[in-house]
Amino acid sequence: MGPLAGVRILEIAGIGPGPFAAMVLADMGADVLRVDRAERVDPNPGELPPGDLLNRGRRSVGLDLKNPDGIATLLTLVEQADALLEGFRPGVMERLGLGPDVCLERNPGLVYGRMTGWGQTGPLAHAAGHDINYIALAGTLHGIGRSGEKPLPPLNLVGDFGGGGMLLAFGIVAALFERSRSGRGQVVDAAMVDGAALLMTMMHGFRHAGFWSDERGTTLLDTGSHFYDTYETADGKYVSIGSIEPQFYQELLRLTGLEDEELPRQMERSAWGPLAGRLTEIFKSKTRDEWCEIMEGTDVCFAPVLSMGEAYEHPHNLARGTFVEVAGRLQPGPAPRFSRTPAEISRPPCHAGQHTDETLAEWGFSAEDIARLREKKAIA
C-alpha cells in the first residue's frame, strides 16, 4: 500500500501533464478514477490494455458531461472525493457547471487541481499553446542549446512534466496535507509557465551573481564548458561528462591522459573551447564500451548516453528495478521509493469506461441508479 492509500481522486480525462499527475498519484497508492467522455467508450475494446502508459494505475468511468444527468453523477462523485484534477482551458469547467465554486460548495474539503499552460489568469490565459511555448515564455528554452545555434526543445519534459504534471501532483498533496489541519479544501492553480520558471531558479541566482550569460552555450552547465558535455565515441555513440568539482576534474584529466600536460586552469573560460577540442579527439579514439570500462563508477562523473532500450538493460537500472514490466510492457517504475509504504503500479492502462458499473457501485450508486443513468445515456 502506497503512502496515498485511501485517498480518492477524480481525474477529468485530458492529455499530457494532467494524466502524468494522475499517474504519479496513483503510483503512490491513491484511488484515482478517470472520468472519460462517454463517446470515447468502445463497447468492444478487446482484451489487450491500451498503450498509453500515462494512464496506468487507475480505473475509468464513462460519463457524458453534456448530459445534465452526467453532470449530476459527477457532482455526486465529487461529494465523496478528496481531490479533483482537470486540464481544460480556464472557464471550460465553469461552463459545464463543474467549476471550483460549485464543487467546493458540494464538498468544502475538496482539493481542486487545475493544470494549464498559461495559468488561470493573465493576458494569455485563454490562448492555445504547448510545452515549447510555455518554456519559451518562461525564459527557460532560451538557455538550452549550443553556442551559435537555435534553442533546442528538451522534448516536452520541462513544461508538460517537470514544470507541469509533477508540480500539480505536488500541489494536490500539499493541499491535502493542509486540509488535514484546516479541514478546508482549495484550488491549486498549476501553470506550466510558472513551473518552467521555477525550475530555472538556480540559473536566476547564477545570473544575479554574474555567472550566467544570455548568450547560449557559453556557461558552465549549458555546453559552454568542456567538462560538462557529451562526447562522441569511436563507434558513433556518446558519453556524458560532468567533472565540475576540482577533484573530479583531476580524475577526468588522469583517465584521459591529460594530467601530465601543462594545461590552463579549469575555470579559465578562454581555454574551454580548445580543451573541448582535445577531449573530442580523445573520446573518439575509443568505443563507448571501452570508455565505460575506464570511467564508469569512477569520480569522473561519467555515464554512457543510453537509448531507452539500452537503459532497460543497464546493470544499475536492473539492480534497482528502475524499469518494471506490466502487462508485457517495460516502463519506468514508481518514484521515489518509500521504506514502509512502497509505491506500485496497481494495474495497466484501462479502456475508457471499462469500470463504469464497478466504480459507480463502489461510490454508492445502486444497480437501479446505474441502469437509469445508462438508459438516459448519461453513462457509458
pLDDT at 44 over 90: no
CA 159 to chain centre: 9
Per residue in 125-147, pLDDT (tens digit) is 999 999 999 999 999 999 999 99
pLDDT in tens, 170-183: 999 999 999 999 99
Q: Would the pLDDT of 45 be above 90?
A: no
Bond preceding residue 17 cis, omega within 30 of 0 = no
pLDDT band at 48 (very low <50, low <70, confident <90, very high): confident
Residue 11 has a pLDDT of 98
**Average model confidence (pLDDT) across the chain:** 97
Q: What pLDDT is stored for residue 117 in this prediction? A: 98
Q: Which domains does the chain have, with CATH numbers?
A: 8-199+323-375 (3.40.50.10540), 228-316 (3.30.1540.10)
pLDDT higher than threshold 90 for residue 43: no
Q: What is the pLDDT of residue 138?
A: 98
Query: Is the pLDDT assigned to residue 5 strictly greater than 90?
Result: yes
Place of cell 495559468: 119
| pLDDT tens string 67-93 | 999 999 999 999 999 999 999 999 999
46: pLDDT confidence band, cut at 50, 70 and 90?
A: confident
pLDDT score, position 33: 98
What pLDDT digit, counting tens, does each position of 314-338 carry? 999 999 999 999 999 999 999 999 9
User: Would you say 20 and 161 are in contact if contact means Cβ atoms under 8 Å apart?
Assistant: yes
Question: Among all residues, which ones are annotated catalytic?
Answer: 130, 160
* pLDDT score of 47 more than 90: no
